[in-house]
Amino acid sequence: MAKKTVTNARSGARGQRPDAVDVVRRLATTFPGATTELHFSNAFELLVATVLSAQSTDARVNLTTPELFKTYPDARALAGADLTALEQLLVPTGFFRQKARSITKLSQRLLDDHGGEVPADMEYLVTLPGVGRKTANVVLGHALGVPGLPVDRHVLRVANRIGVATGDDPVKVERQLCDQLPADQWTLASDCLILHGRRVCRPTPQCARCVLNDICRYAVAGTRAPKPAPARTRA
């Protein structure tokens, strides 16, 4: 059967990749003030909250962190936490034993290496327990003023459908998106794609009410969406 091709007045040529800057502009208008939905007051809190968000939801983490940071307000306190008591606090986030170990160990590392501060250093951050490139980018982009484009399962799914990225490798998709956007839009782009993936371009996409449906490859070509990417994203 002949494959449908992408033709669209705004995207111009057949099969042309939609303009990522236009995509981000439209989504930013749809989701004004888009940012991470995790609550935090400093880089350390965001780092810990993001580690806790793995295999959980931001809402669940936000219910847990007020008590957590009241009891253990900084890296020194968390590094010395009683593991059993800490695990009890983390039960609602799931995988609480593993997460308790990760956040106490990463706190100890921060204490040993940086006096308890979180450095704006991707190479260092990804060496911390429970921290992968996605988590490091979240912290760099939202709390340390360093452009970062976190790629989670929503970004993978939505970017592939729209046609601004190809593939299910988070590092490659991050690079593809960064190459199309100015650095000061990287974090915003991730936040917008995540919100869009949660609210509109869900696993079953709601294209009829989507602000991208005139440029999105999936909607324009009428193709089936690529399979949702497997959970390859590291923390």
The tokens describing 114, both together, are 């940086």
Pairwise CA distance, residues 25 & 188, whole Å: 10
Q: Is 152 a catalytic residue?
A: yes
Q: Is 218 in the site for ligand SF4 (CB under 6 A)?
A: yes
Pairwise CA distance, residues 40 & 186, whole Å: 20
Q: Is 27 in the site for ligand SF4 (CB under 6 A)?
A: no
Pairwise CA distance, residues 182 & 192, whole Å: 15
CB of 60 closer than 8 Å to CB of 225:
no
Among residues 79, 155, 216, 235, which is the contact residue for ligand SF4, using CB under 6 A?
Answer: 216
Pairwise CA distance, residues 19 & 85, whole Å: 50
Q: Which is nearer to ligand SF4, 16 or 213 (CB)?
A: 213
Q: Is 210 in the site for ligand SF4 (CB under 6 A)?
A: yes
Pairwise CA distance, residues 24 & 29, whole Å: 8
From the list 101, 150, 154, the residue with the least C-alpha distance to 126 is 150
Please identify, among the stretches 3-11, 104-112, 128-136, 204-212, the one whose residues bind ligand SF4 according to the rule CB under 6 A. 204-212
- Shortest distance, CB of residue 78 to ligand SF4, whole angstroms? 39
Pairwise CA distance, residues 216 & 170, whole Å: 20
Neighbours of 142 (CB within 10 A): 21
Please identify, among the stretches 7-15, 134-142, 143-151, 200-208, the one whose residues bind ligand SF4 according to the rule CB under 6 A. 200-208
Active-site residue (options: 19, 113, 121, 134): 134
Q: Is 206 in the site for ligand SF4 (CB under 6 A)?
A: yes
Distance of CA 218 to the CA centre of its chain: 22
Q: Is 30 in the site for ligand SF4 (CB under 6 A)?
A: no
Q: Which is nearer to ligand SF4, 56 or 213 (CB)?
A: 213
- Map the footprint of ligand SF4 across residues 58-87, applying CB under 6 A: none
- Shortest distance, CB of residue 209 to ligand SF4, whole angstroms? 8
Q: Is 213 in the site for ligand SF4 (CB under 6 A)?
A: yes
- The catalytic residue positions are 134, 152
